[in-house]
Amino acid sequence: MDVISVIRTKRDRGALTDEQIDWVIDAYTRGAVADEQMSALAMAILLNGMDRREIARWTAAMIASGERMDFSPASGITRPTADKHSTGGVGDKITLPLAPLVAACGAAVPQLSGRGLGHTGGTLDKLESIPGWRAALSNEEMLSVLGSTGAVICAAGDGLAPADKKLYALRDVTGTVEAIPLIASSIMSKKIAEGTGSLVLDVKVGTGAFMKTLEDARELAATMVGLGTDHGVRTVALLTDMSTPLGLTAGNALEVRESVEVLAGGGPADVVELTLALAREMLDAAGLPDTDPARALADGSAMDVWRRMISAQGGDPDAPLPTAREQHVVTAPATGVLTRLDAYGIGVAAWRLGAGRARKEDPVQSGAGIELHAKPGARVTAGQPLLTLHTDTPERFPYGLEALTGAYDIEPDGTAFTARGIVRERVA
Protein backbone atom coordinates (compact mmCIF):
# COMPACT_ATOMS: atom_id res chain seq x y z
CA MET A 1 0.00 0.00 0.00
CA ASP A 2 1.22 3.54 -0.68
CA VAL A 3 0.23 6.95 0.69
CA ILE A 4 -0.42 8.50 -2.73
CA SER A 5 -3.25 6.05 -3.40
CA VAL A 6 -4.74 6.80 0.01
CA ILE A 7 -4.62 10.56 -0.65
CA ARG A 8 -6.13 10.12 -4.11
CA THR A 9 -8.98 8.02 -2.74
CA LYS A 10 -10.09 10.75 -0.37
CA ARG A 11 -9.24 13.54 -2.81
CA ASP A 12 -11.61 11.93 -5.31
CA ARG A 13 -14.34 11.69 -2.64
CA GLY A 14 -14.01 7.98 -2.12
CA ALA A 15 -14.33 6.14 1.19
CA LEU A 16 -11.10 4.85 2.72
CA THR A 17 -11.06 1.14 3.44
CA ASP A 18 -10.29 -0.19 6.91
CA GLU A 19 -6.96 -1.44 5.56
CA GLN A 20 -6.05 1.97 4.14
CA ILE A 21 -6.89 3.70 7.41
CA ASP A 22 -4.97 1.22 9.56
CA TRP A 23 -1.96 1.43 7.26
CA VAL A 24 -1.75 5.21 6.93
CA ILE A 25 -2.13 5.85 10.68
CA ASP A 26 0.54 3.28 11.49
CA ALA A 27 2.88 4.50 8.75
CA TYR A 28 2.51 8.14 9.77
CA THR A 29 3.22 7.26 13.40
CA ARG A 30 6.37 5.40 12.35
CA GLY A 31 7.52 8.27 10.11
CA ALA A 32 7.03 6.35 6.86
CA VAL A 33 4.46 8.94 5.76
CA ALA A 34 5.80 12.50 5.69
CA ASP A 35 4.10 15.52 7.25
CA GLU A 36 3.37 17.05 3.84
CA GLN A 37 1.67 13.84 2.73
CA MET A 38 -0.48 13.63 5.85
CA SER A 39 -1.26 17.35 5.41
CA ALA A 40 -2.64 16.58 1.95
CA LEU A 41 -4.78 13.76 3.33
CA ALA A 42 -6.03 15.92 6.20
CA MET A 43 -7.07 18.63 3.73
CA ALA A 44 -8.86 16.04 1.59
CA ILE A 45 -10.73 14.84 4.70
CA LEU A 46 -11.62 18.43 5.59
CA LEU A 47 -13.05 19.03 2.11
CA ASN A 48 -14.72 15.67 1.49
CA GLY A 49 -15.53 14.29 4.92
CA MET A 50 -15.74 10.74 6.26
CA ASP A 51 -18.68 8.47 6.93
CA ARG A 52 -19.42 6.94 10.34
CA ARG A 53 -17.52 3.74 9.58
CA GLU A 54 -14.42 5.65 8.47
CA ILE A 55 -14.45 7.86 11.57
CA ALA A 56 -14.88 4.87 13.87
CA ARG A 57 -12.01 3.01 12.18
CA TRP A 58 -9.77 6.11 12.14
CA THR A 59 -10.40 6.55 15.87
CA ALA A 60 -9.70 2.88 16.58
CA ALA A 61 -6.45 3.08 14.60
CA MET A 62 -5.38 6.14 16.59
CA ILE A 63 -6.09 4.29 19.85
CA ALA A 64 -4.20 1.23 18.59
CA SER A 65 -1.13 3.36 17.81
CA GLY A 66 -0.24 3.38 21.51
CA GLU A 67 -1.07 2.20 24.98
CA ARG A 68 -4.24 2.35 27.06
CA MET A 69 -4.39 3.57 30.63
CA ASP A 70 -6.30 2.08 33.54
CA PHE A 71 -7.98 4.10 36.29
CA SER A 72 -9.96 1.21 37.75
CA PRO A 73 -9.68 0.32 41.46
CA ALA A 74 -6.95 -2.13 40.45
CA SER A 75 -4.77 0.90 39.64
CA GLY A 76 -5.27 2.33 43.12
CA ILE A 77 -7.88 4.92 42.05
CA THR A 78 -10.97 4.16 44.10
CA ARG A 79 -13.06 7.17 43.11
CA PRO A 80 -15.26 7.17 39.98
CA THR A 81 -13.47 8.94 37.13
CA ALA A 82 -14.84 11.79 35.05
CA ASP A 83 -13.13 13.85 32.39
CA LYS A 84 -14.11 16.88 30.31
CA HIS A 85 -13.00 18.10 26.94
CA SER A 86 -13.63 21.42 25.21
CA THR A 87 -13.43 21.76 21.44
CA GLY A 88 -11.67 25.09 21.92
CA GLY A 89 -12.66 28.67 22.39
CA VAL A 90 -11.49 32.14 23.28
CA GLY A 91 -11.03 32.87 26.97
CA ASP A 92 -11.97 29.25 27.68
CA LYS A 93 -10.17 28.67 30.96
CA ILE A 94 -12.92 26.41 32.33
CA THR A 95 -10.72 23.33 32.84
CA LEU A 96 -8.60 25.18 35.39
CA PRO A 97 -11.32 25.72 38.02
CA LEU A 98 -13.42 22.74 36.88
CA ALA A 99 -10.97 19.89 37.52
CA PRO A 100 -10.27 20.77 41.17
CA LEU A 101 -13.94 21.59 41.73
CA VAL A 102 -15.15 18.16 40.57
CA ALA A 103 -12.37 16.50 42.57
CA ALA A 104 -13.48 18.40 45.66
CA CYS A 105 -16.93 16.87 45.15
CA GLY A 106 -15.67 13.27 45.22
CA ALA A 107 -14.77 12.27 41.67
CA ALA A 108 -11.29 11.65 40.26
CA VAL A 109 -10.46 13.87 37.27
CA PRO A 110 -7.67 12.59 34.97
CA GLN A 111 -7.64 15.61 32.65
CA LEU A 112 -5.48 15.17 29.57
CA SER A 113 -5.26 18.57 27.91
CA GLY A 114 -3.67 20.13 24.85
CA ARG A 115 -2.01 23.25 23.58
CA GLY A 116 -3.46 26.11 21.60
CA LEU A 117 -4.90 25.45 18.15
CA GLY A 118 -4.97 28.51 15.92
CA HIS A 119 -6.88 31.34 17.57
CA THR A 120 -8.04 29.15 20.48
CA GLY A 121 -6.07 28.91 23.69
CA GLY A 122 -4.53 25.77 25.14
CA THR A 123 -4.91 24.63 28.73
CA LEU A 124 -1.29 23.47 28.98
CA ASP A 125 0.02 26.79 27.64
CA LYS A 126 -2.00 28.57 30.32
CA LEU A 127 -0.83 26.40 33.19
CA GLU A 128 2.80 26.59 32.09
CA SER A 129 2.71 30.28 32.98
CA ILE A 130 2.73 29.14 36.63
CA PRO A 131 6.40 29.00 37.73
CA GLY A 132 7.64 25.44 37.99
CA TRP A 133 4.45 23.72 36.79
CA ARG A 134 5.04 20.65 34.60
CA ALA A 135 2.70 19.38 31.89
CA ALA A 136 4.75 16.29 31.03
CA LEU A 137 4.16 13.53 33.56
CA SER A 138 4.91 9.83 33.34
CA ASN A 139 1.99 7.47 33.76
CA GLU A 140 3.22 6.71 37.27
CA GLU A 141 3.40 10.42 38.13
CA MET A 142 -0.06 11.00 36.71
CA LEU A 143 -1.49 8.21 38.86
CA SER A 144 0.32 9.54 41.90
CA VAL A 145 -1.01 13.10 41.49
CA LEU A 146 -4.51 11.82 40.75
CA GLY A 147 -4.48 9.55 43.78
CA SER A 148 -3.14 12.18 46.19
CA THR A 149 -5.15 15.23 45.04
CA GLY A 150 -8.14 13.85 43.13
CA ALA A 151 -7.28 15.78 39.97
CA VAL A 152 -4.45 16.02 37.47
CA ILE A 153 -4.13 18.18 34.34
CA CYS A 154 -1.32 17.12 32.06
CA ALA A 155 -0.24 16.33 28.53
CA ALA A 156 -0.95 12.95 27.03
CA GLY A 157 2.12 10.76 27.41
CA ASP A 158 4.13 9.76 24.38
CA GLY A 159 2.65 6.28 24.59
CA LEU A 160 -0.98 7.42 24.51
CA ALA A 161 -2.39 7.74 20.97
CA PRO A 162 0.97 8.90 19.54
CA ALA A 163 -0.62 9.19 16.09
CA ASP A 164 -2.87 11.90 17.44
CA LYS A 165 0.01 13.80 19.02
CA LYS A 166 1.66 14.16 15.61
CA LEU A 167 -1.55 14.89 13.74
CA TYR A 168 -2.83 17.38 16.34
CA ALA A 169 0.21 19.61 15.87
CA LEU A 170 0.05 19.25 12.08
CA ARG A 171 -3.60 20.32 11.90
CA ASP A 172 -2.82 23.49 13.81
CA VAL A 173 -0.50 24.79 11.10
CA THR A 174 -2.15 23.46 7.94
CA GLY A 175 -5.65 24.95 8.15
CA THR A 176 -7.32 21.62 8.86
CA VAL A 177 -8.37 22.10 12.47
CA GLU A 178 -12.06 22.42 11.58
CA ALA A 179 -12.47 18.96 9.99
CA ILE A 180 -15.19 17.23 12.02
CA PRO A 181 -13.84 13.68 11.49
CA LEU A 182 -10.38 14.77 12.63
CA ILE A 183 -11.68 16.71 15.62
CA ALA A 184 -13.87 13.81 16.75
CA SER A 185 -11.19 11.15 16.31
CA SER A 186 -8.50 13.30 17.92
CA ILE A 187 -10.53 13.98 21.04
CA MET A 188 -12.05 10.55 21.43
CA SER A 189 -8.92 8.52 20.69
CA LYS A 190 -7.14 10.19 23.60
CA LYS A 191 -10.12 10.05 25.94
CA ILE A 192 -10.89 6.39 25.24
CA ALA A 193 -7.23 5.39 25.49
CA GLU A 194 -6.98 7.41 28.71
CA GLY A 195 -9.43 5.04 30.36
CA THR A 196 -11.81 7.48 32.03
CA GLY A 197 -15.16 6.04 33.08
CA SER A 198 -17.22 9.03 31.93
CA LEU A 199 -16.72 12.03 29.71
CA VAL A 200 -18.44 15.38 29.31
CA LEU A 201 -17.83 17.25 26.06
CA ASP A 202 -18.04 21.03 25.84
CA VAL A 203 -18.72 21.61 22.14
CA LYS A 204 -18.33 25.28 21.37
CA VAL A 205 -20.51 26.97 18.77
CA GLY A 206 -20.25 30.50 17.40
CA THR A 207 -17.82 32.85 15.71
CA GLY A 208 -14.93 32.02 18.03
CA ALA A 209 -15.45 28.25 17.77
CA PHE A 210 -14.39 25.84 15.07
CA MET A 211 -18.05 24.93 14.76
CA LYS A 212 -19.78 28.11 13.59
CA THR A 213 -23.34 26.76 13.45
CA LEU A 214 -25.54 24.72 15.74
CA GLU A 215 -25.95 22.17 12.94
CA ASP A 216 -22.20 21.53 12.72
CA ALA A 217 -21.86 21.50 16.51
CA ARG A 218 -24.67 18.94 16.81
CA GLU A 219 -23.00 16.75 14.18
CA LEU A 220 -19.68 16.85 15.99
CA ALA A 221 -21.29 16.26 19.40
CA ALA A 222 -23.37 13.33 18.14
CA THR A 223 -20.32 11.79 16.45
CA MET A 224 -18.24 11.98 19.62
CA VAL A 225 -21.02 10.81 21.93
CA GLY A 226 -21.51 7.82 19.63
CA LEU A 227 -17.79 6.99 19.61
CA GLY A 228 -17.62 7.19 23.40
CA THR A 229 -20.73 5.10 23.94
CA ASP A 230 -19.51 2.45 21.50
CA HIS A 231 -16.31 2.10 23.56
CA GLY A 232 -18.10 1.84 26.91
CA VAL A 233 -17.45 5.41 28.10
CA ARG A 234 -20.52 7.20 29.41
CA THR A 235 -20.49 10.34 27.27
CA VAL A 236 -22.63 13.48 27.14
CA ALA A 237 -22.12 16.79 25.34
CA LEU A 238 -23.17 20.36 26.00
CA LEU A 239 -23.28 22.81 23.11
CA THR A 240 -22.11 26.12 24.55
CA ASP A 241 -21.94 29.62 23.15
CA MET A 242 -18.65 30.97 21.82
CA SER A 243 -19.74 34.10 19.99
CA THR A 244 -18.35 36.23 22.81
CA PRO A 245 -15.13 35.39 24.73
CA LEU A 246 -15.60 33.63 28.05
CA GLY A 247 -14.81 35.81 31.02
CA LEU A 248 -12.77 38.99 30.86
CA THR A 249 -9.41 37.65 29.67
CA ALA A 250 -7.89 35.85 26.68
CA GLY A 251 -4.27 34.84 27.14
CA ASN A 252 -2.25 32.44 29.24
CA ALA A 253 -1.28 34.00 32.59
CA LEU A 254 -4.25 36.38 32.34
CA GLU A 255 -6.62 33.40 32.28
CA VAL A 256 -4.87 31.63 35.14
CA ARG A 257 -5.35 34.72 37.27
CA GLU A 258 -9.06 34.81 36.41
CA SER A 259 -9.43 31.08 37.15
CA VAL A 260 -8.01 31.57 40.62
CA GLU A 261 -10.59 34.31 41.18
CA VAL A 262 -13.33 31.78 40.35
CA LEU A 263 -11.86 29.26 42.78
CA ALA A 264 -11.80 31.99 45.42
CA GLY A 265 -15.56 32.40 45.06
CA GLY A 266 -15.55 35.32 42.60
CA GLY A 267 -14.77 35.69 38.92
CA PRO A 268 -16.94 36.58 35.93
CA ALA A 269 -20.52 35.30 36.01
CA ASP A 270 -20.31 33.47 32.67
CA VAL A 271 -17.20 31.53 33.70
CA VAL A 272 -18.82 30.52 36.99
CA GLU A 273 -22.06 29.53 35.21
CA LEU A 274 -20.35 27.24 32.72
CA THR A 275 -17.98 25.77 35.30
CA LEU A 276 -20.93 24.76 37.48
CA ALA A 277 -22.97 23.43 34.53
CA LEU A 278 -20.12 21.17 33.41
CA ALA A 279 -19.35 20.14 37.00
CA ARG A 280 -22.94 18.97 37.49
CA GLU A 281 -22.80 16.95 34.27
CA MET A 282 -19.49 15.35 35.27
CA LEU A 283 -20.70 14.46 38.74
CA ASP A 284 -23.91 12.99 37.35
CA ALA A 285 -21.98 10.93 34.79
CA ALA A 286 -19.68 9.71 37.57
CA GLY A 287 -22.63 8.58 39.68
CA LEU A 288 -22.53 11.51 42.12
CA PRO A 289 -25.66 13.44 41.09
CA ASP A 290 -26.57 14.74 44.54
CA THR A 291 -23.32 16.65 45.14
CA ASP A 292 -23.51 20.46 45.02
CA PRO A 293 -20.45 21.93 43.26
CA ALA A 294 -21.47 25.51 44.14
CA ARG A 295 -20.83 24.69 47.80
CA ALA A 296 -17.29 23.48 47.02
CA LEU A 297 -16.55 26.84 45.40
CA ALA A 298 -18.03 28.76 48.32
CA ASP A 299 -16.34 26.84 51.14
CA GLY A 300 -12.83 26.89 49.66
CA SER A 301 -12.47 23.14 49.19
CA ALA A 302 -12.04 23.50 45.40
CA MET A 303 -9.27 26.04 45.99
CA ASP A 304 -7.57 23.61 48.36
CA VAL A 305 -7.52 20.93 45.65
CA TRP A 306 -6.18 23.46 43.12
CA ARG A 307 -3.26 24.36 45.36
CA ARG A 308 -2.41 20.72 46.05
CA MET A 309 -2.69 19.82 42.36
CA ILE A 310 -0.45 22.67 41.19
CA SER A 311 2.11 21.91 43.89
CA ALA A 312 2.09 18.18 43.07
CA GLN A 313 3.09 19.04 39.49
CA GLY A 314 5.99 21.23 40.57
CA GLY A 315 4.21 24.57 40.46
CA ASP A 316 4.14 27.29 43.06
CA PRO A 317 0.51 28.40 43.57
CA ASP A 318 1.72 31.49 45.45
CA ALA A 319 4.27 32.68 42.87
CA PRO A 320 3.52 35.88 40.93
CA LEU A 321 2.30 35.17 37.42
CA PRO A 322 4.18 36.62 34.43
CA THR A 323 3.04 39.96 33.08
CA ALA A 324 3.71 41.38 29.64
CA ARG A 325 6.22 44.19 29.33
CA GLU A 326 4.01 46.35 27.09
CA GLN A 327 0.33 47.34 27.09
CA HIS A 328 -1.91 49.20 24.68
CA VAL A 329 -5.40 50.40 25.61
CA VAL A 330 -8.24 50.44 23.10
CA THR A 331 -10.90 52.97 24.07
CA ALA A 332 -14.58 53.03 23.21
CA PRO A 333 -15.13 55.18 20.10
CA ALA A 334 -18.67 56.18 21.13
CA THR A 335 -21.11 56.25 24.03
CA GLY A 336 -23.83 53.64 24.06
CA VAL A 337 -24.50 49.94 24.57
CA LEU A 338 -21.86 47.37 23.66
CA THR A 339 -23.97 44.90 21.69
CA ARG A 340 -21.28 42.65 20.19
CA LEU A 341 -17.75 41.58 21.08
CA ASP A 342 -16.61 39.02 18.56
CA ALA A 343 -14.80 36.02 20.03
CA TYR A 344 -12.93 35.27 16.81
CA GLY A 345 -11.53 38.79 16.51
CA ILE A 346 -10.40 38.75 20.14
CA GLY A 347 -8.87 35.30 19.71
CA VAL A 348 -6.92 36.24 16.59
CA ALA A 349 -5.70 39.45 18.21
CA ALA A 350 -4.47 37.55 21.30
CA TRP A 351 -2.80 34.99 19.03
CA ARG A 352 -1.01 37.73 17.10
CA LEU A 353 0.12 39.37 20.33
CA GLY A 354 1.99 36.17 21.22
CA ALA A 355 -0.54 34.14 23.21
CA GLY A 356 -0.69 31.49 20.46
CA ARG A 357 1.62 29.99 17.88
CA ALA A 358 1.81 30.13 14.08
CA ARG A 359 4.06 27.05 13.83
CA LYS A 360 3.93 23.95 15.99
CA GLU A 361 7.44 24.59 17.34
CA ASP A 362 6.82 28.24 18.24
CA PRO A 363 6.95 29.34 21.89
CA VAL A 364 4.12 31.36 23.41
CA GLN A 365 4.34 34.45 25.59
CA SER A 366 2.90 33.73 29.01
CA GLY A 367 1.90 37.35 29.62
CA ALA A 368 0.44 38.10 26.18
CA GLY A 369 -3.28 38.47 25.63
CA ILE A 370 -6.24 40.77 26.00
CA GLU A 371 -8.25 42.07 28.94
CA LEU A 372 -11.89 42.93 28.34
CA HIS A 373 -13.24 45.88 30.31
CA ALA A 374 -16.85 45.42 29.18
CA LYS A 375 -19.04 42.59 27.89
CA PRO A 376 -22.07 42.82 25.56
CA GLY A 377 -24.99 44.47 27.31
CA ALA A 378 -22.83 46.94 29.20
CA ARG A 379 -23.10 50.69 28.71
CA VAL A 380 -19.82 52.31 27.70
CA THR A 381 -18.73 55.92 27.44
CA ALA A 382 -16.64 57.34 24.62
CA GLY A 383 -12.98 57.32 25.62
CA GLN A 384 -13.26 54.74 28.38
CA PRO A 385 -11.00 51.66 28.20
CA LEU A 386 -12.66 48.87 26.23
CA LEU A 387 -9.74 46.45 25.78
CA THR A 388 -6.15 46.29 27.01
CA LEU A 389 -3.65 44.48 24.79
CA HIS A 390 -0.62 42.81 26.42
CA THR A 391 2.61 41.66 24.76
CA ASP A 392 6.37 41.55 25.30
CA THR A 393 6.92 42.62 21.69
CA PRO A 394 5.24 45.96 20.94
CA GLU A 395 5.81 45.58 17.21
CA ARG A 396 2.92 43.11 17.37
CA PHE A 397 0.38 45.76 18.41
CA PRO A 398 -0.53 46.87 14.85
CA TYR A 399 -1.30 43.27 13.88
CA GLY A 400 -3.37 42.72 17.00
CA LEU A 401 -5.29 45.95 16.40
CA GLU A 402 -5.90 44.94 12.78
CA ALA A 403 -7.66 41.77 13.99
CA LEU A 404 -9.96 43.89 16.15
CA THR A 405 -11.24 45.94 13.22
CA GLY A 406 -15.00 45.38 13.16
CA ALA A 407 -14.84 43.07 16.19
CA TYR A 408 -17.26 45.07 18.34
CA ASP A 409 -20.42 47.15 17.96
CA ILE A 410 -21.61 50.03 20.13
CA GLU A 411 -25.24 51.04 19.56
CA PRO A 412 -27.04 54.16 20.86
CA ASP A 413 -28.39 54.21 24.40
CA GLY A 414 -31.76 52.52 24.60
CA THR A 415 -30.87 49.81 22.08
CA ALA A 416 -32.48 46.55 23.11
CA PHE A 417 -30.05 43.81 24.10
CA THR A 418 -30.94 40.27 25.09
CA ALA A 419 -28.21 38.12 26.57
CA ARG A 420 -28.06 34.54 25.33
CA GLY A 421 -27.48 31.70 27.77
CA ILE A 422 -24.11 29.92 27.77
CA VAL A 423 -25.53 26.41 27.37
CA ARG A 424 -27.41 26.08 24.09
CA GLU A 425 -28.25 22.36 23.92
CA ARG A 426 -27.46 18.99 25.47
CA VAL A 427 -26.62 15.87 23.42
CA ALA A 428 -26.59 12.45 25.03
Q: Catalytic amino acids?
A: 85, 164, 171, 186, 190
For residue 110, count CB atoms less than 10 angstroms from its CB and return exposed for 0-12, middle for 13-18, buried for 19 or more: buried
- Mention every residue, 6+ apart, whose C-beta is less than 8 A from residue 14: none
d(CA 85, CA 70): 19
Q: How far is CA 420 from CA 100, 168, 242, in A?
A: 28, 32, 11
Amino acid at 30: R
d(CA 296, CA 279): 11
d(CA 121, CA 67): 27
Instruction: Judge contact between 202 and 86, C-beta under 8 A.
Output: yes
Instruction: Judge contact between 308 and 149, C-beta under 8 A.
Output: yes
Instruction: Judge contact between 57 and 18, C-beta under 8 A.
Output: yes
DSSP code of residue 108: B
- Mention every residue, 6+ apart, whose C-beta is less than 8 A from residue 348: 119, 403
At residue 16, the 3 state secondary structure works out as coil
- Give the residue from 116, 114, 56, 107 showing the smallest Cα distance to 83: 107
